[in-house]
Amino acid sequence: MCRVPLQSRGFSLVELVIVVSIVAILSGVAAPALGDLWLDSKRTTAVNGFIHSVFLARSTAVMTGKTVTLCRSLDGQTCRHQTGDWQAGWMVFVDRSDDRPPERDPNETVLDVFQGWQNGSISSNRTFYSFRPNIHRVVNGSVVFCDRRGSAQARAVIINSAGRPRVSSHDSNGRPLRCPSG
């Protein structure tokens, strides 16, 4: 009978160091791309939340025959009209009194509340958007969503006079977007 020598069933130190080095290099290359993917996802969530609110306000105004307002709100119950950004949140409500600036009265129904976006800034050239049943009586404007990557990765929701929103990487005049941080 001949004896077969036992072979090692583990990894050598050299093999282990090579595998750990390859994993470290791949992680270093993938981390920035994953960070950008995460920021894109958060920005897209905020943009889609705003577009959802615009569509809800627009369609409710047409269906009910009442003015529906989308305004900045910290608490989801009252509009905030002083200057500032929208990243703290907003609400959509049926504005039966159609007052200017819009104020939610106790008998006016809140349709939607967005709690805000902490990953960047949201700025607009309007403090509120009112959608009326008559199609061409909407205040048009732009809402710009910026994160730490700045203007190159910013997105704008541009609302036309008929109340239709569109998303763009440029302003309504075709110029690049501008973020507060650059």
What phi-psi label fits residue 122: left (phi over 0), alpha (psi between -120 and 50 degrees) or beta?
beta
Q: pLDDT 10s digit of each residue in the chain, 182 long?
A: 566 556 667 778 888 888 888 888 887 777 776 778 888 899 999 999 999 999 999 999 989 999 999 999 988 898 988 766 788 899 999 998 878 888 898 899 999 999 888 889 999 988 899 998 876 666 789 999 999 998 989 999 999 888 899 999 998 888 999 987 65
| C-alpha torsion angle, residues 141, 144, 145, 147 (rounded to 10) | -170
CA distance 45 to 181: 21
**CATH (residue range 38-168):** 3.55.40.10
Closest by alpha carbon to 71, among 43, 102, 47?
A: 102
pTM of model > 0.75: yes
As a whole number of angstroms, the distance between CA 69 and CA 129 comes to 6
Give the number of other Cβ atoms within 10 Å of residue 75's Cβ.
Answer: 10
Return the pLDDT at 2.
Answer: 62
